[in-house]
Amino acid sequence: MERKVAREFRHKVELLIDNEAEKDYLYDVLRMYHQSMELPVLVGDLKLVINEPSRLPLFDAIRPLIPLKHQVEYDLLTPKRSRKLKEVRLDRTHPEGLGLSVRGGLEFGCGLFISQIVKDGQAGNSGLQMGDEIVRINGYAISSCIHEEVINLIKTKKIVSLKVRQVGMIPVKSSTEEPLKWQFVDQFVSDFGEKKGSVAGLASMGGKEIKEKKVFLSLVGTKGMGVSISSGPTQKPGIYISNVKSGSLAAEVGLQIGDQIVEVNGVEFTNLDHKEAVRVLKSSRSLTITVLTGAGSELFMTDEERLAVEARRELDRRELMHQKRVALETNKMVKEQQEKERQRKMEISQKTAEEEERYRKEMEKIEAAERKHHREWEEDWAPREQPKTKSPSPAPPEINTPPPKSKNSAFGWFYRYEGKLPTLRKKGEKKRKKKKVSNTDTLQEQRKNKKEMEFELKLAAEKEEMYEREKQLKISRLVQEVGVIISRLAQGVGVMISRLAQEVGVMISRLAQEVGVMISRLAQEVGVMISRLAQEVGVMISRLAQEVGVMISRLAQEVGVMISRLAQEVGVLWNGILYE
């Protein structure tokens, strides 16, 4: 069973991923997961490779490789997708609008996707989500519509009927010249909401980007397309262009060696054999051909090109592993900083609670002292009620009746003096008593004022001390807040520095990769030049040797002729001498 699952998984990987470096990276992260059993790290690494909707089935293919204890968490971390269509009706005349934003269109090379949902809006309440692909609007398929046509189609009716399917990814493309990239919904929200950088969801790294291209060829008045085709091997079936003549129609429209022919005049070439493919290509003088550029380029590579591709793939794999290590280190640093921040916040909250408790106790002491002083002051100086005692009733006033006239007195208007002067004596005693009371009251008032002043001074000193403590407490709180701000600033600077270092590392690795590719190409070109030079030198030497041989043979022939003539002449002379 496990072998069958592994075989099906490898088949799915071979079917969906063409970049060998990404395949190696996928297998590496799966091996690392089975060693560390860290599921969030695995899902984050998988999103570096599964970076377009066509590769989303890999999440389902990996599911059987996940242990049972991680199945639920794996389902929560991976994006949800569905092939089933869901129909939603929205009112275009609603005061708050449709409550969604869309992006995409034919001019961007992708479908129409929901990129934003307004909270508590029509779309959100209807169950639409970010990353949903809109397939039909008011019953019309929009796969061949540009963005402006889609907007106009939405405006045609008051009730907008949308048929969507859940994908969980959003296209990112700022202009028609830039390559299309994809981001997962959570990464898109992080980038555009929290400005949080992420490397996941970018275009495939390394290798040549495989694109579908459709061309039209008219063979009227020509000798043919100027291409040769061949069938692919068992592990990579299909019909591929194996040769392109220079200056031919195929070269003019941009067909290259290694392009896979997918369709010709509506006929699928995926499961077609070689003879049938040749027959279809020769059946008409007007051909509409759909090809996948570079899909089988590795089938027709030379040994040097294959070595260069393998070296580039190894560099891509190393770069992916470097990105993973940097991401792990960054995550570790962020976790450590978060833990330190949490510990520091706990310490600050604990210290704040201790300071508040100490402040509360001090305030209770001060309030108790104030109550004690107030009670003592009331006991000493508060007015008391005089005890009610029975005072003697005042004597009735004496009625001074004139004494009876003495019969013996000579004059009637003389009074008799009895030796008492009551009025004068009573006035003097009252004055002395009033003076004593006034002196006593003044002394008591002075003592009372002195005690009140001492109490007020003491109370003022305690209030001043309390204000000083409050001031110190406010200063300590301000210092703590400043420390929190500085620590957050330092944390942000640290994260920025780590991201900058990561980007610099990626740039350096890419530069090293490009330099390596340039050096390999230069070495290849130098080798080709040296081989050509050696070939030309060999040809020149062979020609020179041939010419020298010809010259020597001619010279030998001429010398032979001269010697034979000389011998003839000598013979004639010798015969003449003998004759004489």
CA distances from 297 to 288, 310, 316 (A): 22, 13, 18
pTM for this entry: 0.38
Q: What is the model's pLDDT at position 398?
A: 46
Tell me how far apart the alpha carbons of residues 433 and 436 are, in angstroms, rounded to a whole number.
Answer: 5
Rounded (10°) angle between helices 303-381 and 39-49:
130
Q: What is the model's pLDDT at position 239?
A: 92
Give residue-wise pLDDT tens across range 261-307: 988 988 888 888 898 999 998 888 888 888 888 888 888 888 888 88
Residue 290 pairs in a beta bridge with 214, 263
DSSP state of 168: -
Ordered by where they begin, the domains of the chain are 2-77 (1.20.1160.20), 86-167 (2.30.42.10), 212-294 (2.30.42.10)
269 burial level (CB within 10 Å; 0-12, 13-18, 19+): buried
Choose the most confident range, by mean pLDDT, from 29-38, 171-180, 331-340. 29-38
CA distances from 18 to 170, 296, 366, 454 (A): 22, 10, 80, 94
Rounded (10°) angle between helices 303-381 and 20-36:
40
Query: Under a CB-based contact definition with an 8 Å cutoff, are residues 88 and 114 in contact?
Result: no
User: Average pLDDT for residues 341-351, to the nearest whole number?
Assistant: 87
Residue 500 pairs in a beta bridge with none
- Parallel, antiparallel or unpaired: strands 110-117 and 227-231: unpaired
Give residue-wise pLDDT tens across range 383-421: 555 554 444 444 444 444 444 444 444 444 444 544 544
